[in-house]
Structure 1
Amino acid sequence: MTIKNNAIAAVAISASLIMTGCHQSSNSESTLIQSTEVLEITDAALEDIVRHSYQYVAMYNVNNKFALAQGGWNTVHADTQLKDHTLTDIARPNNDTLYVFSLLDLRDDAVIIDVPAFDSSYASLMVTGYDHYVTVPISVTKNDFQVPEKVLFYTERTSGYSGEPVEGIDRSIKVDGDFVSAAFRVMPHANEPEKFTEIAEQMQGIAVVTLNEYQGKPAKPVDRTPLPAVGRTDSDIYANNFLEVMQFVLNHTTFDTNDPLDQAYLTAMKKLGLQPGKAFDQEKSIAVDGERFRAVADKVRMDMFARTQDPVFTAKHGLDLFKTKGEIDLHLLVLQSVIGPVGLPASEAVYPPVVSADGEPLNAQHDYVIKMSKDELPPAKAFWSVTLYDSENGFFIPNDHMKYSVGENAGMVLNAEGGIDIHISAEKPADVPAENWLPINRQDERLDIIMRIYDPELEAYKEYSVPNAERVTAS
């Protein structure tokens, strides 16, 4: 991603493929011609394909589902309250900030976002496309949001615009994908009702307009060709329409000839008969075993879940997630795409998991408590939270109390010494404030607990010991 503000070799995948159609043409490999040739693919080769494609599958699913949910592309949806368990479009969403989602289609015209000033301790604008490389061009950590701005977005494929200055535009941002999410996170100061109302009104002022409309011209016609279907889960895409989705991604993403991961992905897709600039043809495409792809994708997902429960691994890599191209390796790209897409880099927030004190997986058959003294509270310059999810999907635990996290915005009560005990239990203990209780449903269900620390004191965080969840009772 290139921002204007004022001014290796390809990696071969040694895989063979099961196919009913083999690609071959007289002068190039860009045309598929059906063949009776049958090749086989090994389990290792298939897993390699899944790992090199997971970031694209996950972000296609996330970005497109949000676009569908809010009425299409080049739209804006601003929260007026914290998210609840009805949100199932993304794994491990926030329940401690308000969101504004702007889903941008940059094929036919550049798009401009009106960014307001925010009177909040934390606000940021995060941008990512299908490749899941994350950029935060605007943040309170950079002393932004002091004054309103107009920010223009485009790609190298945007029709009619290639980066020239536009009067009245404060920033011009070139992104790598034709379809991107520009996501605002804003601390709502929910414990200050008047300020909460003011911030929610500021969020409603965010607007999206195409460049033609901004310049007083008629809006350009929009390509209404249906996009490939999304899946309820990433594994559904692997099972149902993986090749179609990947061809679409290839056609709407910029790839760097000098980036090893970009070239490895292109090589993997070429093995499947997919290349940038081609039209997907179901009749001539390679036939793949969707359920086998699903099984491998599920295996990769569970492997990544297991890594997040390893304190040594998270301590080593907790500051290395959600970075720009060239700053993050494939393993961590897959991990962030599996665990919770659309996150912030460590300069903005860190997301350490809270694991059980006994080393066993957290399970709703038991109750737990997380204890922190005043000196053990997270090193946050803005604020922190602790959020509970089901492990299988990464969704909030449904409950009648609509309580999913503990923190300054979702509610918390410090004790007389300035510390806090957070209880995860089926029934609220009598002497525990409701703000410090995270309800569970008594059943055999794996749980995940994520701590979020916004605008962290990074040097202090390197020495910080994340608290464990201690088991209180057994069923």
Structure 2
Amino acid sequence: MKKFSHHFFFITCLFLIILSGTAMATENLYDIAYQTCVYAYPLVLTKATQLSQNMPDNHFGHFRKLPSPSNRDIVRPNRDTMYSIAWLNLNKGPILLTVPETLDRYYLVQIMDMWTDTFAGPSSRTIGPKGGQFLIVGPNWDGQLPETTLPEIIELTNDYRLIKSPTNQVWIMVRIEAGSEAEYPIVQKIQDGYQLEQIGIPKDQSSQTLSSPRKDPRFLKITQAIEKGAATPPQVVEKMDAATFFETFTELMIENPPHIQDWPIVALMSQIGIIPGKVLHFESLDENAQDALNQAVQDALKDIHVQTPIPFQDNWRFLPMFTGSYGANYMFRAAIAFTGLGANLPEDAVYPVTNLDYNSEILDGSKNYVVHFEKDQIPPTYAFWSLTVYDSEIYLIENPIHRYNLTSRQNVMKFNPDGSLDIYLQNSSPGAEFESNWLPIPSDEPFSITLRIYWPKREVLEGIWKLPKVCPR
């Protein structure tokens, strides 16, 4: 009887394995292709963004001024911080990042892998105002440094200042609190303090090897699409055929491998010939697979574009958690990449947005509004908060007083006797008494507002804090 039981158990297990294998083998090719496209989208879009910016590897590029209404290159531009951007290539070894002292000025060094996950972030919140140095290494780093490496750099490998990247290519986005135009020289000096150094290569030699990323022949099709017209990176990806999209994706995975939690999707992708570390040749696929990939790209990109990943809360679109680090939530990651590539961790900043008033009606420039904060509704932050108005195309609005936002640190706003705060949204002045709290809006067209909270306190992240009401006046 015991022997029979063993045989029965073995046959049952074998039967289940065969069933499982059959189910996997008959998995719909289209479904796998669709899931793969959603999974791949942020990686392909990030590469298109890098090629669009056309910055040499391992060097910072600085934006020296705040955006104005004449700037139309990005929607919903930020008037609170000045940016510095860098793209790292860790294939040749570790990169030393120097973060300068910023005194009490808010800053964030967001370090992202090519899948758009934020994996490190020296900032006012994490390391304080004194800055420091960090050694960034790739996923295949063997722990060895050149013999000429200075002792103080070697010491970085022994504590939190060693940053291990999941991918060999890295995107760094630095934000520094800007204030007014009068503070430009201060902020620009801080920007100049951000440095990147390839360990083992002298600085003078490093500067001689600058080259355009668009010279990389592997991504010639993307470069040609960018240089042919003024298309944005999302538009470049949207116009890709299936062959370009999936071949680009597999090329990128060679240097930017999947995350460890991605193994289920990696197993699925192998059924349509997509394997990490191996470049796909689309024409080598059979006709059924090609048809599935062609249709999946069209449908997946369309679905990504219409996703609304940020839910409504009190008529504001607000998501206090989950951005910047996505796990296996691939559709959410793709939708965030499309709506705002490079979203940061909510612990560093959150950006509630609305185009609706308290009555759920569209904000209209022909009307007057007041944004009312009760005393206990003033945005809780360890840094500062701001409110910015945008026109119907989500750009800044030209106005006679050249005021595009109000911030808690830069503007002296008058509070009401009970400690509450009113901000007046209207096209003309609300009068001298209220002008310090006035934010001009466009005349006779819809508009929207963004409330940015930098280094928010716990009650914001946990959803305890309540967003203000936007009421017709």
TM over 0.5: yes
Distance change (3 Å), C-alpha of 1:289 and 1:12: closer
Correspondences of 1:9-408 after superposition (within 5 Å): 16-17=28-29, 41=30, 48-66=35-53, 68=54, 71-85=55-69, 92-147=76-131, 149-157=132-140, 162-164=142-144, 166-167=149-150, 168-169=152-153, 170=156, 171-190=161-180, 193=182, 197-214=185-202, 224-226=215-217, 227=219, 228-229=222-223, 232-234=232-234, 236-240=236-240, 241-257=244-260, 259=261, 262-267=262-267, 269-270=269-270, 273-281=273-281, 283-284=283-284, 286=290, 293-294=297-298, 296-304=300-308, 307-311=310-314, 317-323=319-325, 326=327, 329-330=329-330, 332-354=332-354, 355-362=356-363, 368-389=369-390, 395-399=394-398, 403-408=403-408
Q: How many residues align?
A: 419
- Alpha-carbon contact 2:113-2:171 (below 8 Å) kept: yes
Shift in Å, 1:154: 2.4
Provide the C-alpha distance between the structure 2 equivalents of 1:361 and 1:13, rounded to a whole number of angstroms. Answer: 50
* Contact 2:111/2:170 (<8 A) preserved: yes
Does structure 2 retain, via aligned residues, the 8 Å contact 1:62–1:90? no
C-alpha separation in 2, matches of 1:412 and 1:64: 42
The residue identity in structure 2 corresponding to 1:132 is T
CA distance in 1, matches of 2:333, 2:124: 26
AA matched with 2:196: V
Question: 1:14–1:135: structure 2 CA closer, same or farther, 3 Å change rule?
Answer: farther
Is the contact between residue 97 and residue 409 of structure 1 (CA under 8 Å) also seen in structure 2? no
Query: How many percent identity over aligned positions?
Result: 18
C-alpha separation between the residues in 1 aligned to 2:408 and 2:82? Answer: 13
Q: CA deviation at 1:365?
A: 7.0
Q: 1:280 to 1:391 in 2, by over 3 A?
A: farther
Q: Distance in 2 between matches of 1:280 and 1:426?
A: 55
Superposition deviation, residue 185 in structure 1: 1.5
Shift of 1:97: 1.3
Q: What letter is aligned with 2:450?
A: I
The Cα shift of 1:128 comes to 0.5
Q: 1:441 to 1:49 in 2, by over 3 A?
A: farther
Task: Tell me the distance in 2 between the aligned counterparts of 1:414 and 1:96.
Answer: 20
Query: How far is 1:225 from its partner?
Result: 2.0
Tell me how far 1:466 sits from its aligned partner.
0.5
Q: Which protein has the bigger helix share?
A: 2
RMSD across aligned positions (CA)? 4.0
SS, match of residue 201 in structure 1: helix
Match of 1:37 in 2: none
Please report how far the alpha carbon of residue 350 of structure 1 lies from its aligned counterpart in structure 2 after TM superposition. 2.3
427, 430, 441: which is aligned to 1:439? Answer: 441
Residues 293 and 397 of structure 1: CA distance in aligned 2, closer, same or farther (over 3 Å): farther
The answer on whether the counterparts of 1:76 and 1:100 sit within 8 Å (CA) in structure 2 is yes
1:43-84 per-position Cα deviation (integer Å, ceiling 9, x unaligned): x76654443334334433444433x2xx33222122332234
Alignment check: 8 A CA contact 1:383 1:408 kept = yes
Deviation at 1:126, TM superposition (A): 1.0
Instruction: Give the whole-Å Cα distance in 1 for the aligned partners of 2:298 and 2:410.
Output: 36
Indicate the residue corresponding to 2:452 in structure 1: 452
Distance of 1:47 and 1:375 partners within structure 2: 46
Q: For residues 272-320 of structure 1, give each alpha carbon's deviation from its aligned partner in whole angstroms, at most 9, with x where no partner exists.
A: 5432223354654646787974564343333316x433549967x5223
Counterparts of 1:83 and 1:287, CA distance in 2: 45
Which SS does the other structure have where 2:303 is aligned? helix
Q: Could you tell me how far apart the structure 1 residues matched to 2:291 and 2:56 are?
A: 31
2: distance between equivalents of 1:433 and 1:139? 34
SS at match of 1:141: coil
Amino acid at match of 1:396: Y
Q: Where does residue 464 of structure 2 map in the other structure?
A: 463
Counterpart-to-counterpart distance in 2, 1:203 and 1:13: 54
Partner SS, residue 121 of structure 2: strand
SS of match in other structure, 1:199: helix
2:389–2:450 contact (8 Å) kept in structure 1? yes
Deviating more after overlay: 116-125 vs 353-362: 353-362
Q: Per the alignment, do residues 214 and 319 of structure 1 end up closer, same or farther by CA in structure 2, a change over 3 Å counting? A: same
Give the letter aligned to residue 242 of structure 1.
Answer: F
Q: Name the SS of the counterpart of 1:144 in structure 2.
A: coil
C-alpha separation in 2, matches of 1:177 and 1:403: 41
Paired residue secondary structure (1:139)? coil
Cα distance, 1:349 vs structure 2: 2.0
Listed one character per residue, the Cα deviations across residues 177-218 of structure 1 (whole Å, up to 9, x for unaligned) are 222111222223439x46x53333121222222223248877
**Separation in 1 of the partners of 2:425 and 2:49?**
29
Superposition TM-score, scaled by structure 2 size: 0.73
Amino acid paired to 1:213:
I
Asked if structure 2 preserves the Cα contact closer than 8 Å seen for 1:383 and 1:454, the reply is yes
Q: Which consecutive residues of structure 2, in runs of 5 or more, have no partner in the other structure?
A: 1-19
Q: Secondary structure at the match of 2:92?
A: coil
3-state SS, counterpart of residue 72 of structure 1: coil
Structure 1, 455-464 or 411-420: larger mean CA deviation: 411-420
Quickly say closer, same or farther: Cα 1:217–1:48, change in 2 above 3 A: closer
Instruction: Provide the rounded CA distance (Å) in 2 between the counterparts of 1:151 and 1:291.
Output: 45
TM-score, normalised with respect to structure 1: 0.73
State the alpha-carbon separation in 1 of the partners of residues 252 and 391 from structure 2. Answer: 30
Q: 1:416 to 1:255 in 2, by over 3 A?
A: same
CA distance in 1, matches of 2:33, 2:362: 29
Give the whole-Å Cα distance in 2 for the aligned partners of 1:272 and 1:382: 49
**Structure 1 portions without partners, runs of 5+:** 1-8, 18-40
Q: Residue type matched to 1:385 in 2?
A: S
